[in-house]
Structure 1
Amino acid sequence: MAATERPAGSGHPRYAETHPRRVETAAIGRRLVRAALTAWNLDHLTERGELVMTELVANAVRHTSCPTVRLIVSRPADDRIRIAVVDRAPARLPVVREAGSDDTCGRGLLLVDTYADRWGYDRMGTRPGAPWGKAVWAELQAKDPG
């Protein structure tokens, strides 16, 4: 797949790539997060950002059947980073589950909730009542720890 790196001429800077909806795409998402945060001198957010991207990709892989996902790392404000995964399954909305102690899955959004400052989803599409997909996103505050 062709990668699209777009520090936008208008709007806010972002890095975005489209890849097959596969488990291996999480590693590509982590590299995208690392590259964006390094470019923005926000290396202190890398570990949290990589974990969030991994969990968002894992949820798209597990809970949708679309062939591709779009990975996005953007900076909508100087003090905010947004990590998003877009898929074409608008009816499969993210739900935080309470996993049992023996469960091997079901903790992804709990981790996102823990490591992100806020998270949510947006339905994608211009026709009311007929979205073509959704973006599940998480935001990290971009404060310098120093």
Structure 2
Amino acid sequence: MTGAVAVLEPPVALAELSTDLPYEPGSASRARQLVQAALTGWGLGDLVDDAVLVVSELVTNAAKTGCRLEMTLRIIRLTAASVRISVTDGCRVLPVRIEADDGDVSGRGVDLVHKLTRGQWGAVPEPFGKTVHADLRLGRKP
């Protein structure tokens, strides 16, 4: 496992959006819409493409657990040039970054998040699940 578990102090947000989403396939689409709207509204439109890929992976992984009725999506503007996307779900199993083979049909999501965030992601165990977060910053393209 590479850099997946990190205990971090809660960020001080310049702006924040939080919503609960059901454990169903349509939640990834709703999450992408929310991320796009938030980042565009905050003047961080250059992060939208990477952010919608990241949130799709985080929400899809959470939805696969089906551990609770809802997951919580948070979009946090950390600085004028950076944002944190986090998803809290009811499953305590932490994500693991693996290198998928060419023939594998799944297993690339966490690696994609790692590459898009340049390693700025992690998972924090919670009393009744976990929070997986990913940080994106303007001017930092893989």
**Range of TM-score over shorter length:** 0.7 to 0.9
Q: How many residues in Structure 1 have an aligned counterpart in Structure 2? A: 129
Using the alignment, how far apart are the partners of 1:116 and 1:67 within structure 2? 29
Which residue number in structure 2 is paired with residue 138 of structure 1?
134
Using the alignment, how far apart are the partners of 1:144 and 1:136 within structure 2? 20
1:80 counterpart letter in structure 2: S
CA RMSD of aligned residues (A): 2.0
By relative contact order (CA 8 Å, sep 6+), the higher-ranking structure is 2
2:72 counterpart letter in structure 1: R
Structure 1: tracts of 5 or more residues without a match: 1-9, 125-130
Using the alignment, how far apart are the partners of 1:25 and 1:104 within structure 2? 21
**Partner secondary structure for residue 46 of structure 2:** helix
Structure 2: tracts of 5 or more residues without a match: 1-11
TM-score in terms of structure 1 length? 0.80
Using the alignment, how far apart are the partners of 1:67 and 1:48 within structure 2? 27
- Larger radius of gyration, structure 1 or 2? 1
Q: Which runs of 4+ in 1 moved over 3 A?
A: 142-145
Cα deviation, residue 65, structure 1: 2.5
Which residue number in structure 2 is paired with residue 127 of structure 1?
none
TM-score in terms of structure 2 length? 0.82
Query: Does structure 1 conserve the Cα–Cα contact (< 8 Å) formed by 2:13 and 2:76?
Result: no
Identity of aligned residues (%): 34
2:105 counterpart letter in structure 1: T
Cα deviation, residue 80, structure 1: 1.7
